Amino acid sequence: MDDQKNPPGQPRPTPPKPATPAIESAPRRRRIVPLIVAILIVAGAIAWWHPWSRGGSGGTSGPQEARQGGRRGGPNAMNQPQPVHVATVTQGEMPVVINSLGTVTPLANVTVKTQLNGTLVDVAFREGQMVKKGDVLAQIDPRPYEISLRNAEGALAKDQALLQTARLDLQRYQTLLSQDSIAKQQVDTQASLVKQYEGAVKSDQANVDTYKLDLTYARITAPVSGRVGLRQVDPGNYVTTGDTNGVVVITQLQPISVIFTTSEDNLTAILKPLHAGTKMSVTAYDRANTTALESGFLETVDNQIDTTTGTVKLRATFDNKGGMLFPNQFVNTKLLVDVIKDATIVPTPAVLNGSSGAFVYIVKPDNTVTVRNVKVGPVDGERTSIKSGLQVGERVVIDGSDRLKEGAKITIPAEKAKAASGASGASGASAAAPASAASAASGARHGGHRRQQSQQQ
């Protein structure tokens, strides 16, 4: 029956064979092989890095770690000599100077105003011009005041004639009275009339003088010597005595003063030489306190202390021949109060401040430093006087002290040998040669490793 179902010439289907254990384990091996390779790679990387041997002294890691420790400021770095600059303690004169802030204030600042009403017909100055006292600045139309003067002179002449006639009549009446020819009452009346005419003449004379003064005021002149500012009114305008701006402002520049303030604690040092008649020098500096503008003298001290600030005002005068001081200019002032003879002087950067007060680093003969406390005196810019703690001739550190401590070793750049730079260059070259050799060996190892991998593949 089987032969009937299958036609002749066609093969009979083969039944499937059962799976063998070897075939079933093939996928599992494919998963395990990458895992084993990854584990070997990690193990090789750890073996190459070998962190457990970095603390040892063998191999090339020792010098590398030492170099890293030196760069990071290890213990050996603190024992290295520190380069510093030094200066020698000297002896000389130390000026006692009081530094203050001040404002240039003119001794006279006048707003020139007209003293009568009229039309401004002429302006005789240029803006910014230097004028002297009495110079003509402007002219007001004088014609109305000339007419009034002539009227006043006419009234004066008339009253003078009446006065002369009254005086002659009085003389006649007195002669007749002596002859008992007239009554005494008539003589007294004439004497009173003479007094009236005398009063009228004085009044007329005052009017004449007033109009003459008006003519003088019509010529506006400079009340002080100084520098004129900008013109406040132009010719052709009608000016009056009520104008607040005036015609022009004149500021006195030579001499000029500077008003500055100082603490009330300095009053004793200032008043003692001032009362003794000593002329204390004052120097004015620019805003940056670097350029001296003018030198002068202390003029006076204010009569009271400002209780809100605890300061007192002082005025110093300057000739200002060069015109370097300008009104309302901000300046720095230095008042020379006294000069200390044979003072111990060091550069100001040498003095440092700590918890125990001011101190300096003293350079010992073995090129080490020691800390010494000092008592500071007056300071004059880049120089500082020392009251106690230093001797003349000792050397102190003025630069590089931030890297020092008690007993630290130092080197002074000026005392280094010239061969130092050549030695450092040789050491750098010797250090570079092993580094290049090591890099070449490392490249050879990596190249051989890559060749082995290519051959295996």
406 and 385 inside one domain: yes
Structure confidence at residue 65 (pLDDT): 42
Please give the residue that has the higher pLDDT: either 182 or 293.
293
Residues above pLDDT 70, as percent of the chain: 76
Whether 396 maps to a domain, the answer reads yes
Instruction: State mean pLDDT over 319-338.
Output: 93
Query: Is there a single domain that holds both residue 199 and residue 237?
Result: no
Q: Which domain, by its residues, includes 206?
A: 142-217
What is the model's pLDDT at position 351?
Answer: 92
Q: Does a structural domain hold residue 321?
A: yes
Would 31 be classed as within a structural domain? no
List Cβ neighbours of 344 (8 Å cut-off, separation of 6 or more): 89, 90, 91, 385, 386, 387, 390, 391, 392
When the pLDDT of each residue in the chain is averaged and rounded to a whole number, the result is: 80
Q: Is the pLDDT of residue 420 over 50?
A: no
74 is a domain residue: no
Confirm whether 446 is domain-assigned.
no
294 and 311: one domain? yes
Residues 240 and 367 in one domain: no
Q: Say whether both 309 and 351 belong to one domain.
A: no
Residue 174, pLDDT > 60, answer yes
Mean pLDDT of 175-192: 90
**Residue 222 pLDDT:** 95
pLDDT exceeds 80 at position 426: no
CATH number at residue 407: 2.40.420.20
d(CA 282, CA 210): 48
- pLDDT value, residue 29: 61
Question: For residue 421, what pLDDT is reported?
Answer: 36
Give the pLDDT confidence score for residue 6 in this predicted structure. 47
451 — pLDDT class (breaks 50, 70, 90): very low
Q: Which of 217, 240, 275 is the last residue of a domain?
A: 217
pLDDT tens-digit series, residues 47-86: 666 554 444 444 444 444 434 444 444 455 556 888 999 9
- Asked whether residue 442 carries a pLDDT value surpassing 80, the answer given is no
The pLDDT tens digits of the residues spanning 342-396 come to 899 999 999 999 888 999 999 998 989 999 999 998 888 788 999 988 989 999 9
Residue positions counted in the chain:
457
pLDDT of residue 422: 36
What CATH number is attached to the domain comprising 288? 2.40.30.170
381 and 394, same domain (yes or no): yes
pLDDT of residue 453: 41
Domain membership of residue 314 (yes or no) is: yes
In terms of domains, do 258 and 312 share one?
A: yes
Judge whether residue 438 has pLDDT over 60: no
pLDDT recorded at residue 80: 82
Within 8 A by CB and 6+ apart from 376, the residues are: 351, 358, 384, 385, 386, 387
Q: What is the pLDDT of residue 42?
A: 80
Reference 346, options 379, 369, 314; nearest CA is 379
What CATH number should be reported for the domain holding residue 130? Answer: 2.40.50.100
Please tell me the predicted confidence (pLDDT) of residue 335: 93
Residues 274 and 322 in one domain: yes
What ranges in 218-320 are assigned the alpha helix state H? Answer: 267-275
Residue 239: what are its φ and ψ, rounded to 5°?
-105, 150
Return all residues near 163 (Cβ < 8 A) that are at least 6 apart: 194, 197, 198, 200, 201
Mean pLDDT within 167-194: 90
> How much is the pLDDT for 40?
82
Confidence at residue 72, expressed as pLDDT on a 0 to 100 scale: 46
Structure tokens at 258: 């500077």
Residue 317, pLDDT > 90, answer yes
